[in-house]
Structure 1
Amino acid sequence: MNFQKHLISHKATAREALRKLDSEAKGIIAPVLFVHDSDEKIVGSLTDGDIRRGLINKLGIDDLVEDFMFSNFRYFTNNKFPKTEIQAFKARNIRFIPVLDDTNKLIQVLDLQNNRANIPASAVIMAGGRGERLMPLTDGTPKPMLKVGGKPIIEYNIEHLVRHGITDITISIRYLGDQLIEYFGDGSAHQANIKYITEDKPLGTIGALKDIKSFEQETILVMNSDLLTNVDFEQLHEAFLNESADMAVATIPYDVNIPYAVMELEHGNIVKSFKEKPKYTYYSNAGIYLFKQELIKLIPENQKYDATDLMNEVVASGRKLIAEPILSYWLDIGRMEDFYKAQEDIKHLRF
C-alpha cells in the first residue's frame, strides 16, 4: 500500500510539512504526518499543532521537521492492536495510528474514525470458480464481478474487510481472472494492498493458500467471493481469541420446523417423551474462516483441498476448532434465485 500521503522526511522543512498537512486535510480533523529518517524508520509524528508550538518557541518556518516533531508518539506493532487502547485513542479523538514492523518501518496506518474495527489479519478471497449455476450471466463475466446494486459482489467484501482494518488481501483467481486484476489493480483505490494468485487448475475452496508466499499477519481470514454479507468480523475474531482457537468457522443457523409431534424412543419402541411440532436448529458452514497461519503447513501442495478438509485435520490433530454463529445478514449467491434476491436485499442492507 502507498503510505506516502502519511509520510514526511525528517529533513523536510516545516513549510513543506504544512503544505502537505493542508493538502491532506480536506475534511480530516487533526491530520497527522509520520516522520521517517533516511532509513525509512518512523521516528516521530507531526501535526499543525506541533508546528505552531515550535514557532511559539522561536523555531523558524524553514527549520527542519525533526525539530518540530513529537518523538514520544504512539504506535502499534504488527499483530497487536489492543482493543482497550484503540478505544482510549478514540476517546481522545486520535484518528490515525501507525503500525510498525520490528525495524520501526511503517506497514499500516489505522484509521480509527472510518474503520469499524482494526483486526490484525490477512485475508484471502476465493474467486476462481466458474459459476456454472449462474450461466449465462457468467459466460463473459466471472461470478465475483457480477453486479449487485450496481457494484461487483466481491467489491462489497473488500470494502467490508477494509472497514474492519483488514487491508492485506490476496484474491485467488482462475476463470476470467484478468477482469478482477483490471478492476481492482493493486487495491490502492480501496485503501487496501491487493495481490493475486492464479490457480492453474481447481484447488478446492482453500488449496490455493499453499502457493501464497507471505502474509503480513499471523492470522488468516478466508472467505468465498460470492457472499453478500455484513458479518461482524470483529465478533468472529474476538471469539477466536477468547477461545484460544486454532481455527474458527462462521456458521449460519438453519431452522427445521417439524409439523407433527415427535416422539423420543428408548429400548426400541418405548416412548420416553414427545414434543409437539418442535423446531430444531442446525448450524451450516458460512464460507468464512479464521485460523492461525501455521495451519497452512497442513495443506498439500498442488492438490484439491477444501476448507472442510482442513477443519477435519484440525480436529483429528487435537487442535481447537470453534464455530461462531453469524447473527447478521448473509447470502450465498450461488443460484439464479439468490442473485435476484440479492438485487432486492441490497436496497435495504447496511454495512
Structure 2
Amino acid sequence: MTSSRTAVAVAFVVNGALYGSWAARVPALADQAGVGTGGLGLALLGPSVAMILTASPAAKACARWGARPVLAVCLPAACLLLPVLGLAGSVWTLGLALALLGGLMGAVDVSMNIGAVAVVHQLGRPLMPVFHAGFSFGGLAGSLGAAGAAALAVVPGVQFAVVGAVGLIAVLVTVRAVPGERTAAEERPAGGYREVMARGRLWLLAGVAVCAAVAEGACAEWSALFLVDERGFGEAGAAAAYSVFAVAIAVTRLTGERAQRRFGPYRLLVGSGALAATGVFLAAVVPSDTAAYLGFGLAGIGLAFCFPLAMDLAGAAGREPGGTGGERELGFVTTIAYAGLLGGPPVIGGVATLTQLTVAMAVAGVVALLIVPAALGARRAGRTEPARPGSTVDIAG
C-alpha cells in the first residue's frame, strides 16, 4: 500500500518532470509553430500568468474539499495536456496550450504543497525541502530526457506523449494515498482571505518566497548569458555552470530534514539567504572561472531551502487542531511568489539593458540578501501574533 509520503513525493517528481520536459524543448516548439522571438516571449508569458490566476482558486478548492481531490484532477489533466502541447502549430495554439498547462501546474503546485504540509504534520518530520528535492530531480530527469529526445531527432509530440503516459500511470497508482481529503463534517467555506492578508508574518514569508524566486530565476535564466558575454565562457562552460547550480539545489534539498532539525526553520532561512547572496556576489564580482562555478554552486546550496521553508511555514501558520487547514495561507504566499517568478527575470533583464549583466547579477545578489531580514521579521511576527487554536507553527530557530 502506498504511503502518504510516497504519494506526495510522486506528485512532486511528476510535476517537475512535466516542467523540465517542455521547458527544455522550447526551441523545438518555437520552430514547429513558426514562432519568432517576440511571439515566443508572449507565449511563454501565458503559463506564468495562468499560474498566478489559478493559485488562489486552487487554495480555496483545497480548503473546501481537500488537497487530494484537487491534485487527483489537475495532475492527470496536466499529463494528458502535455502531448497536446507537442502538437502546437501556431503561436496561438502554442500560447493557449502553454497557458492551460501553466494553470493546471499552478493548481498542482498549491495542492501538492498542501498535501506535503499535511504529511509533515502527520509524521512530525520537517520533510518539505525533501519533497521539493523531488521536484528538482524530476525537472532534471525531464530535461535530460528532452536532451536525449532532441539528440535522437524525436519530435516534441512523441516525447511528451511518453512522459505524459508515464506520469499519468504513476499518479493514478499513488494519488489515493495523498492526505487532505475532507469529510462532510470538516468541509468549511474557503473565505476569510481578508484575515489572511492582514497577517504580517505571511507577507514576510511571501517576501522570502519572492526573493528566492527572483534570485533563482536570475541564476537559472541569466547565468549562461552572463558567463558568455561578461566572462568569455564558451556555451558548454556556461551550461556546465548552470548544471552546477541546479544539481546543488537538488542535492542540498535532500539534506533538508537534518538541517531543519539542527538549526530550526528560521535560522536555516537566515543562513541560507546569506549563503545564496554570497554565492551570487562571488560569481558576479570576481572575474574568475573558479569563482563562477563556486559562486553558482553556493547560490544553489543557499536557495535550496528558502522556497520550501517559506511554503512549510505558511501552511503551518494556518494549521488547525485536527491536522487540516493552512490552505488559504499557503495559497496566499504561493500567489505572491508566482508574481516574483513572473516579474523577476524581466526586471533583471531591464537592469542588464540599462547597465550591464554584471550589475544585474549583483542586483540578484541583493535580492537574495533580503531573505535575511524578511526571515528575521517573520520569526519576530510569529512570536507576537496571537496564537491560533491548534496551530503547530515552529517558531524555534
TM-score tier by shorter-chain length is under 0.3
Give the helix-richer structure, 1 or 2.
Answer: 2
Give the strand-richer structure, 1 or 2.
Answer: 1
